[in-house]
Amino acid sequence: MSLQDPVSPTASAPPELLRLHEYWRGRCAQADVPDRGDIDPVDMAFCLPHLAVIELEPDPFRPRYRLVGSRLVDLFGRELTGCYVDEVYRGSVRKEALAAYRQTAEGRQPLYSRRTLHGLFRSYSYDRLMLPLRRGGDRIEQILLGLYPTDRQLVTAEQWRVEEDVRNFTTL
């Protein structure tokens, strides 16, 4: 699965992600990428529950959830803080997520996408914005992730997990 070129959110993106992107751009100062120290969570209160901070271990490349907002915890159905991305996802979702984190870090640019997960009975779409961050130096060490389901009624894991359980059961 190939990823698109790094892009900024489009007009069809959730307004919160558009605002987050503008906030990130405003913090770039003299650099191409803002420093984590220039990002203030208070300024992002409008979307904080939908954000995660991902730390990037460089060798081998391994993204790890450092902080995860409450809405994302509800949506995933468990606390992800401290978990590695490759431990949370499997199959093609894992491959795509790792490639997106790598592309954001290496490209030093935002990456916005609308993704769709196809379940047994239904598909679920979400908007995702990945924003690279430095920490004192020049290397990208963190990614600020904003994630919103396109169906705003989808707020808990129980709403989609039944499908996952059925799918797991039918593969036995």
Per residue of the chain (172 residues), what is the pLDDT tens digit? 234 445 667 778 899 999 999 999 999 988 899 999 999 999 999 999 999 999 999 999 999 999 999 999 998 889 999 999 999 888 888 999 999 999 999 999 999 999 887 777 777 889 999 999 999 899 999 999 999 998 877 777 777 666 555 454 433 3
Q: Looking at the 3D structure of the chain, how many domains does it have?
A: 1
Dihedral class, residue 40 (left if φ above 0, else alpha if ψ from -120 to 50, else beta):
beta
What is the pLDDT, as a whole number, of residue 139? 96
The predicted model scores a pTM of 0.87
| CATH (domain of 83) | 3.30.450.20
3-state secondary structure of 65: strand
Other CB atoms closer than 10 Å to residue 126's CB: what's the count? 17
What is the pLDDT, as a whole number, of residue 166? 44
Measure Cα distances from 33 to 3, 27, 156, 161, 166 in Å.
21, 8, 33, 37, 43
What is the pLDDT, as a whole number, of residue 122? 76
What is the pLDDT, as a whole number, of residue 125? 87
The answer to whether residues 78 and 98 touch, using CB atoms and an 8 Å cutoff, is: no
Dist CA 52 CA 72 (whole Å): 8
Residue 33, domain member (yes or no): yes
Cis peptide before 60 (omega within 30 of 0): yes
Q: How many residues does the chain have?
A: 172
Residue 147, domain member (yes or no): yes
Residue 156, domain member (yes or no): yes
Dist CA 48 CA 19 (whole Å): 12
Domain that holds residue 23: 15-170
The answer to whether residues 118 and 93 touch, using CB atoms and an 8 Å cutoff, is: no
Strands of 15-137, DSSP E: 51-58, 61-68, 111-118, 123-134
